[in-house]
Structure 1
Amino acid sequence: MARAASTRESADFRRQSLIEATAACLAEHGAAGTSVRTICARAGVSPGLLRHYFDGIDDLIAVTYRDVTDRVSATLREAGEAAGPEPRARLIAFVTASFRPPIADPALLATWLAFWSLVKTRPAIAAIHGETYRGYREELEPLLAGCGLTIAQARPAAIALTALVDGLWLELSLDPSTFTPAEASAMAVRWVDSLLERPL
């Protein structure tokens, strides 16, 4: 049993190493420059190992996108939960976590841009993209409802807030000299407070 568990852990490690190598290659080379060769060279494995764990490079890129989005979602969720029981505090913590590491990270931006470039041409990436943004809004809606918005008000508010956070995160990641993470958070907080006073 111990040997089987060790083998499984080793397989999981190798699989995760390929996922992390793919994210790094996408950040460094973009989607067009990411290949089986570059990924395997980065991971230090043979191309055959990639095909052992994944159904080719398209499958690996899709799995990598899901892995990255899952980690981002977990970070946001943990930030909200750590803020305590007060609804507004949880909402603010969830929103402003996007402006701090590990989410506010140039390497993550580069990887994310590579994924975005594939949304219109890769159905699997498009599906994950849709699930991710729907999931983010579905996390926001009960937080907004907890602050007094009705269900009907929470949906458009979540859509607008998602767009605001994405825009601030993108600009902050592209050019940190434009404004600071603290300023991004302050802008988001002011917008949230205005929204809660006068829902869309």
Structure 2
Amino acid sequence: MSSSLWGGELRKVSAPLLKSLQTEIDQLLRRFKYAETAFLNVYKKVIDLPDPVEVLEHVQQLQRRAQRSSELELENNQLRDTLNEYNNEFAQVKNQEVTIKSLKEKVRSLEEEMESKVCNQLKERERQLERSFAEKEREIQDSNLDVARRLGEAERTIETLRSALSQAQSELFDVKSKYDERANAKLVPYSI
């Protein structure tokens, strides 16, 4: 009988404890399910995010473009300074009005072309391959023009040197002829 009393009291004491324990377990299960659902929601959002490597590469491209843009601006300013110097030099040459007029037209055309080129380069950054091809083609043409200009200068220098050589040879021939005449004139009295 004492064991059944003891068992009854044990049930009375342990029933609220078991109920409290069961409530705590139920709450833990709800929290776990909520945490699991929240984790799955966050995971679904994170898995759909794009790869950050592509974004970083894009940012690096933008930084390179910004740096190239400032380099182009500096180059443009240097070209403007050079063009201003040419304009000043051309203004000082008074006897060559036709040449000055022509060169001023070329300077104005080059300024417009340079401004247009800089604007186009800034606007057409997304079409990098086409711009790069056009720029390389322009550089080759500029190089060809520079080579042609240098070749023309070299040919003029060669002509000048040939003319000077011809003149020097002619003068040398004249001096030699005069020398031979004097030598023959000195020999003539001795032969008589």
Structure showing the higher helix proportion among its residues: 2
TM above 0.5, yes or no, is no
Q: Which protein shows a greater Rg?
A: 2
Q: TM-score range by the shorter chain?
A: under 0.3
Which structure has the higher relative contact order (CA within 8 Å, separation 6+)? Answer: 1
